[in-house]
Amino acid sequence: MSMVSEFRDFINRGNVMDLAVGIIIGAAFTAIVNSLVNDLIMPIIGIITGGIDFTGLALNIGEASLTYGNLIQAIINFLIIAFVVFWLVKAVNRFRAKEEALPAEPAAPTTEEKLLTEIRDLLQAQARQSGV
């Protein structure tokens, strides 16, 4: 099998396509969360903490600048994303549990089951007639 045909088979698998869609949606979702954090949450946290801007926090060592404020921002982004994903998964699981809890319709009896039921009924009728 050539490298091109192996690659084509790999790309055409359903899981790879699902993963690609997930990554694209995840990137778009990350942009939304970054905006939420940068434009809404961080200014509120800045007000609560007395106007500290986390993105500007840095430790200068010689000519190197360790911008630990960006790390704080990334941690807050992660926690928000994890919290939202947690609630999404919880909602999906609740929905699936409701679907699974619904009683399934009983399957129609097979021909064999119908015959066995008739035989059982005949044997019971014979037993009642003979007084057993």
Domain ranges of the chain: 3-130
H or E, element range at 76:
helix 68-101
Confidence of residue 118 (pLDDT cuts 50, 70, 90): very high
pLDDT of residue 53: 65
The yes-or-no verdict on residue 110 having pLDDT over 70 is: yes
pLDDT surpassing 90 at residue 120:
yes
CATH 1.10.1200.120 given to domain 3-130? yes
Number of helices (H), then strands (E), belonging to the chain: the values are 5, 2
Give the residue, 15 or 79, on which the prediction is more confident.
79
Q: Residue 132: is its pLDDT beyond 70? A: no
Residue 2 — φ and ψ, nearest 5°? -80, 160
Contact 42, 54 (CB under 8 A): yes
pLDDT digits (tens, 9 = 90+) for 92-106: 888 888 877 777 777
pLDDT in tens, 29-88: 888 877 877 788 778 877 887 776 677 788 899 999 898 988 887 888 788 778 877 887
Which residues have CB under 8 Å from 12's CB, separation 6+?
none
Summarize the confidence of residues 20-26 as an average pLDDT.
85
pLDDT of residue 113 exceeding 70, the answer is yes
